[in-house]
């Protein structure tokens, strides 16, 4: 049995929300391409299998829950101290966590098929709301997809160091891989055989 129509709660217990950054500038070889996981988030997906346009999704992210999982490239490996410094800079200089404790996404239009869909919606980061489009795939009991986000559209200046010779690229990729309970009713109870 595949996914059935209904409402599904979303969060870290059901899947992963990942942010990937890349570096640019003359000093790019000194930095790292980062894989950052959002560890506290929640949402709701209402799925209409027969009519994807009748579906919707909302997600709220705790901006203080970004954890650096991996840093690739660079002259030397990413240390625990580097991870702490990156998290501190992300919270204080990029996302301004004290003032903007959440990032929200609310779909405005869903098109395509259940297997291959496009979600258009409003993404609010640091108090600024801009439209964004996610591309996704539904296979068996998993929803996977991504969106590319240009930070400057939200008024965010990409992080830079070493007098601007090392900086993060404006565009970041947000990926999601979320499991939906297969063979279960959307409210979480087991379906009858």
Domains of the chain: 6-179 (2.40.128.110)
> 49-53, long-range: CB within 8 Å, 24+ apart, which pairs?
49/2, 49/3, 49/4, 49/5, 49/114, 50/5, 52/110, 52/111, 52/112, 52/113, 52/114, 52/117, 53/109, 53/110, 53/111
Residues 135-167: tens digit of each pLDDT = 999 887 889 999 999 999 999 987 766 554 456
Side by side, the strands of the sheet bearing 23-24 are 23-24, 166-168, 160-161
Please state the pTM of the whole predicted model. 0.85
* β-sheet bridge partners, residue 190: 184
92: its two tokens: 């204080």
Mean pLDDT over 23-28 rounds to: 62
**57-111 per-position pLDDT tens digit:** 999 999 999 999 988 877 788 889 888 988 998 899 889 999 999 999 999 999 9
DSSP 8-state symbol, 31: S
pLDDT band for 126, please (50, 70, 90 cuts): very high
Tell me, what's the pLDDT at 192?
Answer: 40
């Amino acid at each position: 049995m595949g996914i059935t129509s209904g409402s599904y709660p979303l969060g870290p217990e059901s899947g992963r929300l990942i942010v990937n950054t890349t570096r640019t500038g003359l000093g790019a070889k000194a930095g790292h391409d980062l894989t950052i996981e959002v560890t506290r988030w929640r949402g709701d997906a209402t799925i209409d299998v027969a009519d994807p346009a009748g579906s919707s999704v909302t997600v709220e992210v705790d901006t203080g829950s970004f954890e650096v999982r991996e840093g690739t490239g660079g002259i030397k490996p990413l240390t625990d101290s580097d991870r702490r410094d990156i998290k501190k800079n992300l919270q204080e200089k990029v996302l301004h966590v004290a003032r903007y404790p959440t990032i929200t996404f609310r779909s405005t239009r869903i098109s395509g098929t259940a297997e291959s869909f496009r979600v258009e919606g409003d993404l609010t980061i640091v108090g600024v709301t801009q439209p964004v489009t996610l591309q996704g795939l539904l296979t068996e009991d998993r929803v996977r997809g991504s969106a590319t986000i240009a930070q400057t559209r939200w008024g965010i200046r990409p992080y830079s160091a070493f007098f601007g010779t090392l900086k993060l690229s404006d565009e970041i990729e947000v990926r999601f891989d979320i499991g939906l309970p297969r063979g279960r009713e959307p409210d979480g109870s087991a379906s009858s055989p």
